[in-house]
Chains A and B, each alone.
Chain A
């Protein structure tokens, strides 16, 4: 399409509408009203000027900065007949990692790995009297019986769901805000004599909680423990959503209603793992942000990701999806058992380094005490 001078108005509209369809075809959310605005926009500008058409489309058909490269590509192809370059244009060069190949060699030890508990501690006798010991014992070192005992303790874990202030206010017995409106009305009744003070405060609403659990190999046990959170939070009426991932992402919120946690985890494991595929955190999180945008999940939520950060996918994909996630969620909390009891956590795996700038808090979740701390924090981050 080199010149629009000899095209009549009707043919021109067809062309513009066709462009809208071309954008839709590559997955950009372009509505009919957007196309209408685009046509209306172009008709107020110089119809023969390709630059006007370009910028008009940018203003009316694109609503996210991330979509601009894709728009450019379609524009070039549609109006200028330039074939898209073969490389994935959405790939960003990543500053944090010099070589993506480093991900292929997965380090199997990190500092602060839980598990160095003295044998004496393990020998300590009766379960009922040793809950304090178990509280600090890494899950990885517990026998099956001990795990069962811990699970029982965990089921009593209180999750105070995070809250947020809403737009509306309500009568309060005491707060820092006077209810002037009410007081003015009261004074009318008493002919200008002030009586009691009335107060208002902001109403509070529960924040939704989203758990994204890594159920691949070594992480499955830790993720299983976090599921207990989902149950506890649900008892407190919070909106809880649970996703599991390995190579793929799947939502298991529904199955939480019916089955017990172990069953739910097993089902999730089957749904999301190609056993030789390795963990693809970046791709899974991107799936999540896509679903989240569409289904309005996770907006303003506390998102808890449980993973060791050993990612087999592209680091760029992880960085991109973490950035998107951090903008949708209210807080992003990462539970990484490799943190162990270390107070200052220094990310060592590439995945964690890449994700680190977008994480608000890192918890270890490798023993009960740490999970209790997490439960405590959840109530406060709202």
Chain B
């Protein structure tokens, strides 16, 4: 386990690199501050630039569990925090009814019938975990307010059981694809980082780090082509994840370099939108270059 207190930006960058995550200075600085100041880190950025991956890498690097809460429209407390295990409760009641007298209320709503959802797990785990709250922009406004409360003091009150308080704060990473604007109040609690598409050099490093066996020429060509695609004003510009997917697809098919034919065959790995696909197919010459 890494000693956070004496960590510097460069050391952190190196450690992330050892886990095949290549962070630029801005991201590394923000992450270091999040670790040192104990604040949640809000990552905003295009799709597929490694927001989720950062949390995963961080958990591996620090030897902690990754607890992930995927947000979606309509997510509520029962999915995020805790739920009672009703099936077991009902079985328990039946069993009690058959053996002897009545079932005691406090027995039925005791911790052993509690299903812990990600947020409660994280509160219990404290600094043994990295909590990833993924795509928080997809959840409703009210869920944000609820998160705000939780991120404030890391304490959860379950009426039947009592208050659970984190002994130590977990590292919290929130990601947003910026499909809608988050409340300022939530943002104020967090350190903020915008992750853009990486420069071609860094992207090439990322592809090479992620796909150790990849041919040098192929990796370079894919990165160049993806950068051209990004300049093409597509509906959904490809992210770094797509570069990696594409390079991997080409490699799997045995291509050692990016030809027009090979690009056409594998374009689905990098472009996931019908109109974009049509457009890119038509201008494949410009893409491959």
Q: Chain A: residues with CB nearer than 8 A to chain B?
A: 29, 31, 33-34, 37, 40-41, 44-46, 51-52, 55-56, 58-60, 62-65, 68, 95, 165-167, 169, 180-181, 183-184, 187-188, 191-194, 202, 293, 299-300, 324, 327-328
What separation, in Å, do the CA atoms of A40 and B76 have in the docked complex? 35
State how many residues of chain B have any CB contact under 8 Å with chain A. 47
CB-CB under 8 A from A166, the residues of chain B are 140, 142
Task: Enumerate 22 A-B pairs (CB-CB under 8 Å) in ascending A order.
Answer: A40-B37, A51-B25, A52-B9, A55-B30, A56-B29, A59-B30, A59-B193, A60-B192, A62-B192, A65-B178, A68-B194, A95-B233, A166-B140, A184-B86, A187-B94, A188-B103, A193-B97, A194-B90, A202-B74, A299-B141, A327-B179, A328-B181
Give chain A's interface secondary structure class: helix
What separation, in Å, do the CA atoms of A166 and B143 have in the docked complex? 10
What separation, in Å, do the CA atoms of A55 and B32 have in the docked complex? 11
Most buried by A among B44, B97, B146: B97
**Chain A CB within 8 A of B105 CB:** yes
- A181's closest neighbor in chain B, by CB? B84
CB-CB under 8 A from B63, the residues of chain A are none
What separation, in Å, do the CA atoms of A260 and B188 have in the docked complex? 43
What separation, in Å, do the CA atoms of A224 and B29 have in the docked complex? 54
**Chain A CB within 8 A of B102 CB:** yes
Most buried by B among A95, A192, A193: A192
Q: 8 Å CB contacts to A: which residues of B27-43? A: 29-30, 32-34, 36-37, 39
Flag if B44 contacts A65 (CB, 8 Å): yes
Flag if B97 contacts A59 (CB, 8 Å): no
Flag if A180 contacts B146 (CB, 8 Å): no
- B35's closest neighbor in chain A, by CB? A44
- B137's closest neighbor in chain A, by CB? A327
**Chain A CB within 8 A of B191 CB:** yes
For residue B139, give the distance in angstroms from its CB to the closest CB of chain A.
Answer: 10
Flag if B103 contacts A44 (CB, 8 Å): no
What separation, in Å, do the CA atoms of A178 and B90 have in the docked complex? 14
CB-CB under 8 A from A192, the residues of chain B are 90, 93-98
Additional A-B contact list (16), CB under 8 Å, known A37-B39, A55-B26: A29-B184, A44-B32, A45-B33, A52-B9, A52-B29, A60-B33, A64-B187, A165-B140, A166-B140, A184-B86, A187-B90, A188-B103, A192-B95, A293-B184, A327-B181, A328-B181
Q: 8 Å CB contacts to A: which residues of B93-132? A: 93-98, 102-103, 105, 108
CB-CB under 8 A from A29, the residues of chain B are 184
CB-CB under 8 A from A293, the residues of chain B are 181, 184
